[in-house]
Amino acid sequence: MFHPLDIKAPIPVRFNNPFDYEPDALCRAAVKELQSKLPVNPIEGKMYGVLIVMNKGRLGYLQAYSGQIENEPEGFVPAVFDYLQPNGYFKIHEAEISSLNHMIAQLQASEEYKEAQQQLKDIQQEAQKVLDEKRNVMQAAKALRDKRRKEAFISEQEHNEMIRQSQFLKAELHRTKLTYNEQIDAAKQRLQLLQDKITAWKRERKLKSDRLQYWLFSQFSLLNARGERKNLLDIFRDYYLLNSAARTRMVQKLSASADKTEDKNISISLLPPSGAGECCEPKLLQYAFLQGYKPISMAMFWWGPAPKNEVRQHGSYYPACNGKCKPILMWMLEGLETNCDTASNNTEQTIEIIYEDSYLAVINKPSGLLSVPGKSEKPSVYSILKERWKGENEPFMVHRLDMSTSGLLVIARNLSVYKALQKQFLHHEVSKRYVALLPLSFLEKHKPTDGRITLPLTPDVNDRPRQMVDHINGKSAITEYHVVGKTKYGKDNQEAIKIQLHPQTGRTHQLRVHCAHKEGLDTPIIGDTLYGKRDERLWLHAEHLEFTHPITAKDMSFDSTLL
């Protein structure tokens, strides 16, 4: 498991931040060795990771992959908990759940079930047809009686005959309804018996699945740098109650309720997500702690084709995910000196005021500055303008830019102007244009010079703020683009491809995903740490903004150059 590393490079004083890092020379050397042993063109992609460790004064690395494989390849650290043993608890109970799945699928596909469904459908259709015919006969007979009454005087005998006819037809309709209702009830009962079986099996499957998942989470006992242990259930519960205000409020509300059946809802809200504990990072740290190795630094990379909905670049480094890994790593890194909290939260940043009057302002936001305050105390466009307009106005953020994106923003100085500008955005009356820089490899994709990207987006619930393409449940996201040509950028004056992006919708990370995803431009924007590779900054800039001034009705047009 321990792979010696023969390299002359400085050893970091602190462990790197797994959620925001640039791989050091040690990690890059270890990754290079690992990649040389991996398949060149794997059929499926997978996340791999390395952990640089010190073993009794000897430098080396551990390697891991995310998830579990029944026939584990040699040289990788083992799973935190191996639940794939052929005759183990998990496999036995998984087989029971699989058996229920088979029983449900078999009954739903059976001739008996299909016949019961079809019989009910046929009887209902036949009943509707026959009853409609009888109602038509009744209406026709009534029309003839009414016509007869208008045409001539009718005798008492004929009048009584008309009444008998009407009563007979009504009674006949009623008898027919009763007959068909009995047949429909019988068909429904036959189908319901089968559906009750399916419902009972599904209920049993859910119960077994929940119990198995709960058991599985309890078996993942994870060490931290102090040698203390916690299972996944305790790790996520403690993390959620400390860091998730929504979950904390829910627990407080349900705990105060007299209805103790709500305890189950509390437990569910604090459970780990599926697959927690199986990523590279916890596997690597767990093995290092068990062996008494000192962790130095770590790095993760994707190898192979990307999943259909996600953006993953072959060979690119990625940070640890927030949903599954963050609670675990916050626990496991306790007792280890890290870079997680070394960055200052109060870095001085300024904004360029492009235009300002009593009603609104247009500013040029630098890359790295938040648009609105986050959980930390980092400055934002909002906080800077609030201080600038202190005692005069409150900033109203009409729209936002990602922290890493630079460029033009319009901010209202009162509620009525805010609402008027929001209305313009809602009705697509605001013109926005972005400029982005792509690596020269974009030319190899042979994309049209002009095009339209329509990829619906949805949040990656296990790794926010990342977004995924979801053609079924995603929200519509449309971007028009134009390739401008080659340009120079950055401190080293490197070459890149400049493109203009015109978003027709305003989804989170829309432009970044539409550029990076294989169904879009298949080329991440330079410096995109979430969907591509790190650079001195994210080279995405809101360069043009055009709207109508809500008070003066003048056309307002602004341009800003990507520096």
pLDDT > 70 fraction of the chain, expressed in percent and rounded: 94
The CA distance from 411 to 468, in Å, is 29
Question: How far are the Cα atoms of 184, 189, 202, 293 from residue 195, in angstroms, in the given order?
Answer: 16, 10, 10, 57
The CA distance from 77 to 348, in Å, is 43
Q: Which of 402, 463, 522, 528 is catalytic?
A: 402
Any domain includes 226: no
Nearest partner of 33 among 7, 8, 14, judged by Cα: 7
The CA distance from 479 to 473, in Å, is 19
Do both 469 and 420 map to the same domain?
yes
Any domain includes 384: yes
Do both 187 and 318 map to the same domain?
no
Do both 63 and 202 map to the same domain?
no
Write the DSSP string, 319-358.
Answer: PPPTTTTHHHHHHHTTTS-BSTT-S-S------EEEEE-S
Nearest partner of 428 among 532, 506, 373, 509, judged by Cα: 506
pLDDT > 90 fraction of the chain, expressed in percent and rounded: 78
**What range defines the domain where residue 158 resides?**
101-216
Model pLDDT, residue 528:
94
**Which tens digit of pLDDT belongs to each residue from 395-439?**
999 999 999 999 999 999 999 999 999 999 999 999 999 999 999
Any domain includes 28: yes
Do both 75 and 107 map to the same domain?
no
φ, ψ of residue 458 in degrees (nearest 5): -145, 150
From first to last of the 563 residues of the chain, give the pLDDT tens digit. 899 998 888 899 999 999 989 999 999 999 999 999 999 989 899 999 999 999 998 999 999 999 877 666 789 999 999 888 888 999 999 999 999 999 999 999 999 999 999 999 999 999 999 999 999 999 999 999 988 888 878 888 988 999 999 999 999 999 999 999 999 999 999 999 999 999 999 999 999 999 999 999 999 999 999 999 999 999 999 999 888 766 666 666 656 655 554 445 556 678 898 889 999 999 999 999 999 999 999 999 999 999 888 899 999 999 999 889 999 999 999 999 998 765 444 456 789 999 999 999 999 999 999 999 877 778 999 999 999 999 888 999 999 999 999 999 999 999 999 999 999 999 999 999 999 999 999 999 999 999 999 999 999 988 888 999 999 999 999 999 999 999 999 999 999 999 999 999 989 999 999 999 999 999 999 999 999 998 999 999 999 999 999 999 999 999 999 97
φ, ψ of residue 483 in degrees (nearest 5): -80, 120
Which residue, of 216, 232, 257, is where some domain finishes?
A: 216
Which residue, of 168, 184, 216, is where some domain finishes?
A: 216
Any domain includes 64: yes
Do both 153 and 196 map to the same domain?
yes
Q: Which amino acid is it at 243?
A: N
Do both 181 and 60 map to the same domain?
no
Do both 148 and 73 map to the same domain?
no
CB 307 within 8 A of CB 45: yes
Do both 315 and 464 map to the same domain?
no
The CA distance from 215 to 221, in Å, is 12
The CA distance from 305 to 310, in Å, is 10
Any domain includes 272: no
Do both 422 and 459 map to the same domain?
yes
Q: Angle of helix 232-243 relative to helix 245-256, nearest 10 degrees?
A: 100
Do both 397 and 457 map to the same domain?
yes
Cβ-count burial 101-113 (b if 16+ within 10 Å, e if not): eeebeeeeeeeeb
**Which tens digit of pLDDT belongs to each residue from 70-85?**
666 789 999 999 888 8
CB 176 within 8 A of CB 75: no
**Among this protein's residues, is 341 annotated catalytic?**
no
φ, ψ of residue 96 in degrees (nearest 5): -65, -40
- Degrees to nearest 5, angle at CA 530 with 296 and 271: 75
The CA distance from 476 to 458, in Å, is 9
Task: Write the DSSP symbol of residue 398.
Answer: -
CB 123 within 8 A of CB 129: no
Model pLDDT, residue 244:
72
Q: Which amino acid is it at 471?
A: H
Any domain includes 238: no
Do both 415 and 518 map to the same domain?
yes
Nearest partner of 456 among 538, 517, 499, judged by Cα: 517
Any domain includes 107: yes
The SS3 call for residue 401 is: coil
Task: Give me the CATH number covering residue 499.
Answer: 3.30.2350.10
The CA distance from 281 to 129, in Å, is 66
Do both 395 and 536 map to the same domain?
yes
Token readout for 276 is 């927690």
Any domain includes 431: yes
Model pLDDT, residue 339:
84
Model pLDDT, residue 2:
92
Nearest partner of 225 among 307, 138, 299, 290, judged by Cα: 290
Q: Say how many residues make up the chain.
A: 563
How many of the other CB atoms lie within 10 Å of CB of 160?
11
Which residue, of 271, 299, 332, is where some domain finishes?
A: 332
Number of domains in the chain: 3
